[in-house]
Amino acid sequence: MLDQVKEESSTELVEQVISDFIAARFFTEQLCEPLKAEDYNLQAIAETSPVK
């Protein structure tokens, strides 16, 4: 009986982790939607020397 409880809670935990991942992924995709490919590049800040 205890094994069944552990298995059930483990399944629920996995389902919750998957659900949280999907929600985070959807939110990230929404944030990135208006960006262009060039927006993903690293950019130097004004306080640093330019790249050589």
- 52 part of a folded domain: no
Q: Within a domain: residue 39?
A: no
pLDDT of 12 higher than 80: yes
Res. 52: pLDDT tops 70 = no
Which structural domain range is residue 27 located in? 2-33
What is d(CA 7, CA 24) in angstroms, rounded to the nearest whole number?
26
Q: What is the mean pLDDT of the chain?
A: 83
pTM > 0.75: no
Asked whether residue 40 is domain-assigned, the answer is: no
pLDDT in tens, 21-43: 999 999 999 999 999 988 888 87
**Residue 28 domain-assigned?**
yes
Q: Please name the residues in contact with 51: beta carbons below 8 A apart, sequence gap of 6 or more.
A: 44
Is residue 45 in a domain? no
User: Which pLDDT band holds residue 8 (cuts at 50, 70, 90)?
Assistant: low
Q: Is residue 12 part of a domain?
A: yes
What single DSSP character describes residue 39?
Answer: G
